[in-house]
Amino acid sequence: MQVGLVHFIALSAVLFSIGMFGALTRRNAIGILMSIELMFNAVNINFVAFAKYIDPINTTGQVFTVFVIVIAAAEATVGLAIVLLIYRNFRDIFVDRINLMKW
């Protein structure tokens, strides 16, 4: 069976779901960040596949992927800095044990 746009969309949906499962169930803050990276990548696959099949001349969809990658890099940097800060103060990076701001 030849691969079309639908296959890329299905792959992207599956990958996004896996990332969402990780973000919902992981206790380790770094594990949650890794799951969020998986979700970013699923979105990128969608953008690139639609750019290939719907607008192959202008490649506008790929520009959005560039922006998503930049945002993901910024998010990972700040997120990991916060995780390291939390580890330094609490000696812990399990998100269910960090409950200082819960009432």
Contacts to other proteins from residues 83-102, by CB under 8 A: 83-85, 87-88, 92-94, 96
Q: Give the nearer residue to other proteins in terms of CB position, either 35 or 103.
A: 35
Q: Give the nearer residue to other proteins in terms of CB position, either 91 or 103.
A: 91
Contact 44, 68 (CB under 8 A): yes
Min separation Cβ 103 and other proteins, Å: 20
Q: Which of residues 16-75 bind other proteins (CB under 8 A)?
A: 16-22, 24-28, 30-31, 33-35, 37-38, 41, 44-45, 48-49, 51-60, 62-63, 65-67, 69-75
What's the token pair of residue 58? 């202008």
CA distances to 23, 44, 66 from 26, rounded to whole Å, are 6, 23, 28
Number of Cβ within a 10 Å radius of residue 25: 10
Q: Which of 43, 81, 98, 99 binds other proteins (CB under 8 A)?
A: 81
Q: How far apart are CA 42 and CA 23, in angstroms?
A: 14
